[in-house]
Amino acid sequence: MATSQQQRHIRLGLFVQPVGQHVSGWRLTEKLGDPTDIDWLITLAKKAEAGKFDLFFVGDALATSMYRLPSTMARLEPLTMLSALAVNTKRIGLAATASTTFSDPFTMARSFSSLDHISRGRAAWNVVTSFSTDVARNFSRSDMPNHAERYARAREFLEVAEKLWAGWEEGAVQPNKETGSYFVDEKIQPINHQGEHFQVQGPLNITRSPQGRPVIIEAGSSADGQKLAAETAEVIFTASASLEEAQTFYRSQKDQVIAAGRNPDHVVIMPGVMPIVGRTREEAKALWKELNTLVDIENGLRQLSLRFSMDLSQFPLDGPVPEVPLGEGNQSRVKLMTDMAKRENLTLRELAAVAAGSRGHRVIVGTAEDIADDFELWLKEGGADGFNIMPAIMSEQLDLFVELVIPELRRRGLFREDYAFATLRENLGLPAV
């Protein structure tokens, strides 16, 4: 595998939990945000844009019972929210999670194309497949399609959406007052898709958007997820606990991109990370300790049980983490957490605290220099192209990251001074479509 070895800029996404990513973060903030307060979300988006983040990323879940946390029990629908943020920001990318399991390609393609128009070319879609039976029950099903079925549907779903976006060519709108014609008919084509899961005539009833289509993000690290990402994703979110683990995933994923006939430099890999930023190491360590003393272990155990698709309350909290088969749930995150437990010899109680606190992502505790050292090492050693930042406390930790870490990254030549382009696709260095 060969990729460009020239000095690269780190790509940064902000993974937005309006009350903080750490399960205890909301208990330590001076100003507690409301997940459904659009003014609060606009404030966060503007802070991220002031820091020149590439992405403002909003996750989503289609059931309230997955995690008993403020941001997951009550949240705004992501595309509605990002449409409001689009008119209050200028350059930052706006990314939303949307599932292919219980929706249809025509509606999804139209919605994201609308967001791309409203934001003038800053939309991104984090493509996911649902895995919780609680979600299935909200969509008139008693059970969830199996893993292979969900990915087969996702693959065809993306195929249909991309056909719909491509159905409007450049120059399809050419108003001519003299002739009375508004469209160039031959530049607007139906897709007439006939597949296993979808039969869609088209064309889409919205004009070609500034980017042509939204930037496609995917996060699956299972074999099916990696294969789909290699063929279709432009940004890949992942979770890696160590540089060695990250390098293995990075090499594997980029090699699969090459095997799929694509340029590996056109796929941006961004592991999630929770930086605990302090003005001194002692300050950062004290904050991390305080956050973890407030963790509700029962909550963490519920999270693990839902992730692992098994009731873990039957096992001793201070005993070893039980063997968990990779079933139909979130396979990549289950493997990451069970591997972590084995590597660090964690008890079930300890893993529950980690799961509740960091939600399975890597944590860096230290000063701006410590965090920049870590990011620079991962970038140069082939562990990442950038990072999805998950502030533990919102907005205090976001503020410190923008105030302290970003200037340090700039001092090292690792992060841009300003946005160079108008569209997200251009700012990420991705090719036009």
Write out the DSSP string of 37-67: -HHHHHHHHHHHHHTT-SEEEE---S-TTS-
E-strand stretches of 210-317 = 215-218, 235-238, 268-277
Mean pLDDT computed over 305-319: 87
Cα(49)–Cα(56) distance, rounded to whole angstroms?
8
Residue with tokens 């001519």: 176
DSSP letters along 154-171, please?
A: HHHHHHHHHHHHHTB-TT
Q: What is the pLDDT of residue 64?
A: 78
Q: What is the pLDDT of residue 42?
A: 98
Are 183 and 192 a contacting pair, CB within 8 Å?
Answer: no
Comparing CA positions, the residue from 241, 354, 343 lying closest to residue 292 is 354
Mean pLDDT computed over 161-188: 96
The β-bridge relationship of strands 193-194 and 181-183 is unpaired
SS3 state at 340? helix
Whether residue 3 is predicted with pLDDT greater than 50 in this model: the reply is no
Residues contacting residue 223 through CB under 8 Å, at least 6 positions apart: none
Alpha helices by DSSP H, 200-263: 223-232, 243-259
For 299, half-sphere exposure in the C-beta direction (CA atoms, 13 angstrom radius) is 17
SS3 state at 389? strand
Range name among 17-31, 66-80, 366-380 with the lowest pLDDT average:
66-80
11-276+367-428 maps to which CATH number? Answer: 3.20.20.30
Mean pLDDT computed over 316-323: 91
Cα(411)–Cα(417) distance, rounded to whole angstroms?
10
Dihedral angle at the C-alpha atoms of 290, 293, 296, 298, nearest 10 degrees? 150
Residue with tokens 């003393």: 293
What are the structural domain ranges in the chain?
A: 11-276+367-428, 280-359
Cα(354)–Cα(321) distance, rounded to whole angstroms?
13
- 57 bridge partner residues: 15, 95
Cα(67)–Cα(177) distance, rounded to whole angstroms?
57
- 95 bridge partner residues: 57, 124
pLDDT digits (tens, 9 = 90+) for 369-420: 999 999 999 999 999 999 999 999 999 999 999 999 999 999 999 999 999 9
The β-bridge relationship of strands 215-218 and 235-238 is parallel
The β-bridge relationship of strands 173-176 and 181-183 is antiparallel
Q: What is the pLDDT of residue 71?
A: 59
Cα(250)–Cα(236) distance, rounded to whole angstroms?
10
Binding-site positions: 60, 97, 147, 151, 221-222
Binding-site positions for FMN: 60, 97, 147, 151, 221-222
pLDDT digits (tens, 9 = 90+) for 124-160: 999 999 888 888 888 898 888 888 999 999 999 999 9
Comparing CA positions, the residue from 405, 425, 421, 391 lying closest to residue 14 is 391
DSSP letters along 90-138, please?
A: SSSEEEEEEESSSS-HHHHHHHHHHHHHHTTS-EEEEEE----HHHHHH
Cα(58)–Cα(125) distance, rounded to whole angstroms?
10
Q: What is the pLDDT of residue 40?
A: 96
pLDDT digits (tens, 9 = 90+) for 219-260: 977 888 899 999 999 999 999 889 999 999 999 999 999 999
pLDDT digits (tens, 9 = 90+) for 103-128: 999 999 999 999 999 999 999 999 99
Q: What is the pLDDT of residue 74?
A: 78
Whether residue 315 is predicted with pLDDT greater than 80 in this model: the reply is yes
